[in-house]
Structure 1
């Protein structure tokens, strides 16, 4: 399957025009060396070498930032294969589309020196035509954002110009109505965080005072919500069930928790929380075997109030 990824070309896309003219995408991350001979197939090996280097030049940053920055660097230079489709924003809620044509190359003493050659298509796509799930994903914080789960929608938009519709690309969805409902639940939780019981012990993860915990990008996918305990001793990975099968959602949250644990070795605890409309026996049995993942059921109160 074709890879799709949103790439921010400099802060707020400030180097987009240079990339369009030069037919490339690139990143920096303050790693001042040619990576040609240091791009293993496993991002974990790459991070093991370059996280200490990155942290040495960013002493005020934590392990999460270090792991994520190096993960984005590896993804751009190695993880994205030739033929992958990249979408880069121009600041006007439009995305330029490019196809990666080359392996990694290094352009020393230039902006975004870690580069891939790209063939830019002569078209832009407005964010307004994206489905709501795609809008949320593509707006996540970070240099890279994996959009491959929306490949069918993006192919339709890029190559057929048929416009967009609200669709569910996840083949593991067993309850479409629950998926549609929970597509809005994530935003509700984030916006009303301070009014929820969870706020007594956790806050949405921040970096440099900015809330970045919603749709938090990792090398193995996007976490719905990443939270941190008020004493900064625990990270909490929150996943919405979104109508998916229990086996899928449990496997996914365990994958995210394992990735975060590897990125944050100094954190004493990584916990998980699954939020859904209901829990079936499969989910109950799966969670019996782990002590650090809880299930929370949400309920919706709907009232009609006579106005006149």
Structure 2
């Protein structure tokens, strides 16, 4: 992208996706560090302050923590780009920095803040595995270097989904959490690539069978809008399932069509590889007899019932059970 050479690309993580997306800010913690502008503007002073505030920190933690805080205040410039992978909806959010550093002492935890303008919210499947690895950094705030161009190119209208196979895709080192996230990305990409239309319906029917439901797939081309009928046992209630493999988010009117096909006593299930618009989400919240499953939730079910899936689907999504190291806190 011409004109972006002087702009840097940063990556950030948070435990509070809603704060970033709803309030149009990015923020990092270290509340006890106080107002970072009160620290002399050099890295040594930041390390000195960090040591005083967190005296039990190891040398590496001091360097990393102080470095992130210094970069957040002094290295980041208005107009720089920010890449934020949100876990709540498995999107890559790209925006621009809109303000200088702000200290917000009223914030519960994330007191070190900057305002941002979000430009695009794209599914993780749009990016190469290497790009996803890079923003899966173990650091809370970091510079994006190796795949900066890929994220900037994503802002172009002509941007195409990566959908890169594992053989062609570059990768970088991953932590245990990265491996879990990568596995979920891999599954969603495999489903998106290999299952469209009726094939996705057949897969969902097999998954429901693995979950203990009796299922029957509707005849292709039927006008009822119902793709699968499922029962938990021999008796009602009946569960009517609609499956959509489209890329775009599901609208409220589409879910209403499922509601219109249901009879009294029926329950509805809507399954999509993408997600739902805000209005559709509100409709689902207000219509408890219909359950909506998005791509993220579908992947979770695949992982949970993987061993019971038909062999052809396990070949399509070849996974191997492995043990990976985690921190002692996570293991306890």
TM-score by length of 1: 0.48
Radius of gyration: which is bigger?
Answer: 2
Q: Going by fraction, where is strand more abundant, 1 or 2?
A: 1
The TM-score with structure 2 as length reference comes to: 0.45
